[in-house]
Amino acid sequence: SKFPLPKDDLIMRVPQDELGCDQYPLDWPPPAAGGMGPAPGWISIVQRGTCTFVEKALNAQAAGAKGLIIVWADEFYVDLVAGNDTKNETGVDIFVLGVGHHLGERFRNASVLAHESGTEPPAVSVTPYVSSLMNISELLLITLAACLVALGAFCSTADVVVSQQQQNGGSQPVRSFQAALAPHEDEVLEVDQWQALSFCGVGSCFLILLFYFMQYAIYVIIFCFCVGGASCISQFGAICLNYYFPSLRNKSMTCPMVGILSHAELIAGVPAIILVLCWLFLRNTPYGWPFQDIIGAGFLCWLQRTLRLPDMKVASILLSVMFFFDIFWVFISPLFFHESVMVRVATGGGTGESVPMLLRIPTFGDPFGGDRMLGFGDIALPGLLVSFLRRHDLMSHRSGCRGYFLPAIIGYFIGLNVTIAALCIMRMGQPALLYLVPGTLGTTMVIASCRGEVGLLWHGVPVPAPGLLEESQSSDSEACRAE
C-alpha cells in the first residue's frame, strides 16, 4: 500500500494473545520502563495462524499500534502486498510486515524479556524497501551463465577443430589441448526427435514425484549431485593432467563398479572429492555457493560435451517442447496444485534444503540477503542449441556475426536480462525458457530465414563455401542444359 511509514523508532510489543486474533485489552500497551506511560509509538508482534491477516491488523490498529509484524512458522515467508485502495476495502491503515521464524522469534523473545524484567523494550525503525532492477548479483549470474554456455559449446566442438587441423596438417596426429578435450565417439549421445519429445514427459513425472515426496527425494538428489559432480570435475582434471603430463595416462588400478583408473584420474579425483565435501558441509551456509557453482560448471560443460543435437529440427522440437513445459509448471500448475510446482521444488519444498541443480550468487548489497538462482536446465537446453550452431559454423568455415554461434550467445545474454527484469518487476518466479527460447532459437531462425539457409540448418547440412556453391550451381545448370 501507499501508507506513510512512521519516521520515529517503534517499541516492539507482544500481545497477550500471541496470534493477535483477540481484541487487545483496554489497558494495552503496558507502561514503558520507569512507569512513564506508554511509548509514543509501538508495533505489535504476532504469530501467523487461526485468523486472517486483516483481522490481526485491525486488532492491532484498534489498540493504537503503528504497525504489525507477523512471524512465519518457517523461513519461507511471502511478501504481504496490497493495492492502493487497501484502506477503503479493509479499513486497515497501518503497515504490516511478514518475517521469517528465526528473526521473528528474536524480536518476540527480546520484547517478552524486557517486559518481564522491567527494562526498556527493544525498538525498531522502518524504512521502505526498494529493489533495484539490476543488482551486481544478477549481472554476475547472467555473465556466468552465458560464459558456461559458450564454454560448453567449445568443449562440445573440440573434435571438429581437431579434425580440421588434421586435414590442414596432413595425417600426423594433432597434439593440442583441444585434441585431449575432444569427446570420443562412444562418449557422445546424439539426441533424436523422439528423445527430444520425451524430455517433457519425463521431466513432468520427475517434478510431480519431487513435489509430493520432496522430504525423501531431496537427499537422493543431493547424493546424485555429489557423485555426478565429483565424476565430472575429476574427468576434466584428468584431461588436463593427461595433456600436460602424458605419463599419467598409465593404468593405476581397477576399481569395482568404475573400471580401470589411470594415475591422472586418481590424482584428479582428490580435489574433486574435497570440493564436493566442502559443498556438502557448507551447503546451507553463506559459504556454500562457490563450491556449488564450480561443481555445476563442470556438470554443465560435461553435459554439453556428451549430448549432441544433429540438426535444427531436433533442436526446435526440444526447445519448443521445453518452452511450454516451463510455462506450464511455473504459471499454470497453481491451478491444479494450488501453488507453482516448479517454484516449490526449486526452493526445496519446505525441507530446509534447496535443490542443488542451479547456479547461486548471493545478493550483494541487499538488506534482505538471499541468493539469485538459475536452474541448470535454463543453461543446458539453450547450450545444446548453441553447441550445434558452433559445430555448424565450424563445418561451414564461418565465424563471428557471419555464423550463428555468436548471435545465439548474444540472444541468450539478452534473454537472461529480460528474465531478471521480469523477475524484479513481477516479484515472482519466472519460467526462464519463456525468454531464452525466443532469444536463441528465435534469433537463429530469423537470421537463417534472412540468409535463405533454413533448409540447410534444418537438416544439419553445412553451408557450402562461396566457390563450391557457384561450382555446384554451374554443374546443375549444365546438367539441365544437357537434358
User: CA 113, CA 124: separation in Å to the nearest integer?
Assistant: 16
Distance between CA atoms of residues 100 and 74, nearest Å: 6
Contact criterion met (CB below 8 Å) for 441 and 385: yes
- Between CA 418 and CA 134 the distance in angstroms is 11
CA 463 to CA 235: how far, in whole Å? 34
Strand partners for 135: none
CA distances from 319 to 66, 109, 316, 389, 435 (A): 51, 52, 5, 14, 12
Active site residue 366: no
Is 224 in a helix, a strand, or coil? Answer: helix
Q: Is 267 exposed, middle or buried (0-12, 13-18, 19+ CB in 10 A)?
A: middle
Instruction: Supply the DSSP symbol for 369.
Output: -
Joined together, the cell numbers standing for residue 253 give: 588400478
Whole-angstrom distance, CA of residue 115 vs CA of residue 117: 6
* Other CB atoms within 10 A of residue 124 CB: 14
Please say whether the beta carbons of 309 and 315 come within 8 A. yes
**Half-sphere exposure in the Cβ direction for 167 (13 Å, CA):** 7
Which is the catalytic residue, given 326, 371, 393, 476? 326
How many angstroms separate the CA atoms of 423 and 417, rounded?
10
User: Both ends of the chain: CA-CA distance in Å?
Assistant: 80
Q: How open is the CA angle 303-304-307, to the nearest 5 degrees?
A: 80
Q: Output the CA torsion sign for 214, 215, 216, 220.
A: positive
Q: What is the Cα–Cα distance from 341 to 339, expressed in whole angstroms?
A: 6
Check 17, 159, 311, 378 and give the catalytic one. 378
> Cα separation of 118 and 112, whole Å?
10
From CA 59, how far away is CA 367, in angstroms rounded? 29
Contact status, residue 408 vs residue 447, Cβ threshold 8 Å? no
Is residue 465 within 8 Å of 440, Cβ to Cβ?
no
* 326 tagged catalytic: yes
- Nearest-10 crossing angle of helices 377-395, 158-169: 20
- Positions marked catalytic: 326, 378
